[in-house]
Structure 1
Amino acid sequence: MHDASAIPDAPTASSPRAGHAKAVAACGLTTALTWPIHDILDPVNTVMLFLLTVVLVATRWGRGPAVLASFLSVGLFDFFYVPPRWSFAVSDIQYLLTFAVMLTVALIIGHLTIGLRQRADEANASAKRSQALYTLASHLAGAMSIENVRQHSASFAATQLHAELSLWVCAPDNTLVPATPDDAALPHQAGPDVARVMHMVHHEHKGVASHQLADSGQLVIALPLTGSTRSRGVLLLSPLRAHDPTLDRHRPLLDAVTSLVATAIERLHFVEVAHQHQIEANGERLRNSILSALSHDIRTPLTALYGLADTLTLIQPPLPDRAQEMSSAIRDQAMRLNRMVSNLLDMARLQRGKDAGQLPLRLEWQPIEEVIGASIQMLGMALQDHAVQVHLRSDLPLVHIDAVLMERVFGNLIENAAKYSPAGSAIHINAEVQGDTLEVRINNDGAGFPPDRLQEVFNLFERGMPESTVPGVGLGLAICRAIIEAHCGRIEACNPAEGGAQVRFTLPLGTPPTIEPESEGEDRT
């Protein structure tokens, strides 16, 4: 921003005296030019030349010199051109009317000329301010950091408003912090109460302008940087020179500047958020691709390992007891590893479907009790130390679900409940209709979830107890959430007041098909 576009400074003390001297010189020059031809020049034309001088003086040097030129023109016309010449005496009384009209016309012309000049100056200053504001908007639109925003706005404030600017932005904890180290020191006129006022402006979204905030009595203005979603900070301004009225005179311009700065800061925030989300999305896609590739490659040798271990347990004649135990252990661990790999494959498939906008669901109307029963049977030996108690009403409606995926949900939740509860304790499964949804609750008697991480346990590779010796990689609950959300349901973890842990989820009921009853005369096979 160049000084050429700045608001003009106030006239210096010597400017009025110089203007008056020039007005006297202009009237003298007019007299000198018209005196040699006064005998052939009509007095009316002489008067017109003096009026033209008044117009020129008013245009160039302002109101005071124009008034002086008006009186001086009348005096010079009387002294040099009205008989008796070389005196201010008047021989003809009608010349007094001429003098009065000449003075009146000169004053009116001077006043109108000065008004036109002032309006032209105001229009020119307004055009320069608009151009400077447009330049500021262009710079802020391309700003790549808070430091750039502060630099451009401070330059605008110095050249256009003759003010010192300090920018304070909102930190993640909703406190105000200086945008740059230069802003850490408040404007030099600011008093000790300005920090409290800034806090109030930030939270109440109302600007404050006061002379009491400065030790010197100067005006200090604090304006909120209000974005579309929240307050983004506070703009603090104070005059660079004592008693400069520029800042107070251009309050609408301040509102435009604060709006531009708030928009620029908010844009930088959203750009950073979008960039972070893009990095996370790219990392997630890369991780899923690696998981899918590794899982496929690992599954083949796992299948062979399980088959070989199972063959060793069935070989005839039987192996010694020690070798038999080792073969069974290899088979069980291979099966456990196979389930982990299956979870990795399922998670990769679910994530690909989520990224594509839909999961490949095979929806059918199913009774929920059959899905629960199939899940319990699938777990087999994993539940040998736990009793599963299912509490279902006999009139539960059918639900529109992918039975295979929902078996995986129940399997993961029941297995998770068994792993994190004492041996011999029971696992309770409850299901009931809640409004237009079916709510399912699975409880165990374990230690419960960490109270501060009830939602994080559903993230990928997150475990309820990171330091636990219980085997697992933190995929089971993430798979459950992906499947439930694909069914337009919700899932959450909690710690009931009576103790233990609980995972509950909902499924939309919809309208199941009507089953026609069989007629009495129909043959049954």
Structure 2
Amino acid sequence: MKDFLRQLKRVKLSPSEILYDLFKTILVFLIATSFALCVVEMNVISDNIFGVYMLAVAVTSVITSGFIWGILSSVGGVVAVNFFFTYPYFAINFSMAGYPVTFALLLLMSVLTSALTTRVKKAAILSANRERRAENLTEMSNALLSANTLNKIMKITLDYFFESNQCSVVAYLGNPSNPQIKLTKTMQAQDELIFESPLEVQIAIDSFAKNEITGIVLEPKVQNCKGTYIPISTETKVYGVIGLLFEKPDDVLFDTYKFSNIMVSQTILALERQAIEEKAQLILLEKEKEKMRSNLLRAVSHDLRTPLTCILGASTTLQENKDKLEEAIFDQLLSDIHHDAQWLIHMVENLLSITKISSEHAKVKKQDEIVEEIVAESVSRIHKRFPNSTIHVSVPDELLIVPMDATLIEQVLINLLENAIRHSGTSLPIRLKVSRDENEAIFTVTDYGKGIDPARLSTIFEGKSGSISADSNRGLGIGLSICKTIILAHNGRIAAKNHSCGGASFTFVLPMKGDLCYDYESKNTNC
């Protein structure tokens, strides 16, 4: 009750509000008096006329803004009963025997009725506010569950603080002196200037440093300070600060700050959940990187040892028997050395490509590229390595422009074309087709050979060579693993399948629109 009365004393009304409440009080009083005179004249009520004024007191307390108008209405009711309905009529006389006690009791009853009505009214208002806030809290919790970035979490927090408290709000993530994120939503344009003032920023910094509410709470503690700053914190860590700027801070009940703390706790849960998810993502990324390292080591031992052994054997034979070898054998050994050296260069290019996109802090930088040029360059490089191969290329008539790292996508096409030439087991032409499906560019490499073992389709991009001999299938495992890594880094997708006509198809899809940068470490765009 003391807190309630203290809050009533703090209410400051504008002159227009005071005059409007006074008008309503007088109007209710006049209506009650007119009604009482009528019912007395009709002999409907005679002894309990004060009940009419008690009803008027209750009505006044409900329709006006505070306790004082009910008291005035109570005093007016006692005077009106004495003046209009107590002998001597139309005269004020409290000196008759028993009248002072009677009127004092009636006044006390009126005051208690006014106080009780006002309190019920305030309780009803508080209950409605709490119900609305509870609904907002539930909506906020649901919204935070779907937030997957720090910026979204702070934006949701800002919006619901603004909606629940109907005040200007500033949200800092990190120290307000140099915040990681700062968001503002104001009721009036000048409120943003207030938040930017050195005094308000310093109060926000103090809240962050001391881990306590600062500024205007229930009593002004800082001269000229206009905002209240609530830390977003646990006992051991401070995440940031929420600033509230009320139009009438003196009218704000302590209940508002209690509810704000509950909302802050929801934000803290969302921030902690985001931190856990990011940590889990890092663990998963480390696991993937470790898997990639294992694949690379396996590929190095599998794919580099054979050509190096061949080069060493052929070069040793040439050194030791160059005068004894026939010209055809001599040329064949030189050709083998050249072929294996080319293969080693190709393998090193693959290793450099995968290192480029998987090394720490590396980013895939995308630029708008013409697809036809990328395809032409890839086919040209394949023809240099395999001059006897036949590749049928099909591209759409329209000009396709796709954001990509041109070098990496060329590497993917070269790997897929080379695999088709080497491992299809046929001399039939290879087909490279490019098409468009809405906002996606689709690349398909098809051969008409023996196809892929169905048992390997599910793991063909995992960097495993299976039980196939190293010499005949050199590079198949690591090449496809690199292709998958590159395509995923471009926010695309890749798949392999056997088709009904015989042979295999490898298809990868790239988005034609999107961000021009992809951070492989965090798997985020907008670099």
Indicate the TM-score class for this superposition, using the shorter chain for normalisation.
0.3 to 0.5
Structure having greater relative contact order (Cα 8 Å, sep ≥ 6): 2
TM (norm. structure 2) is 0.47
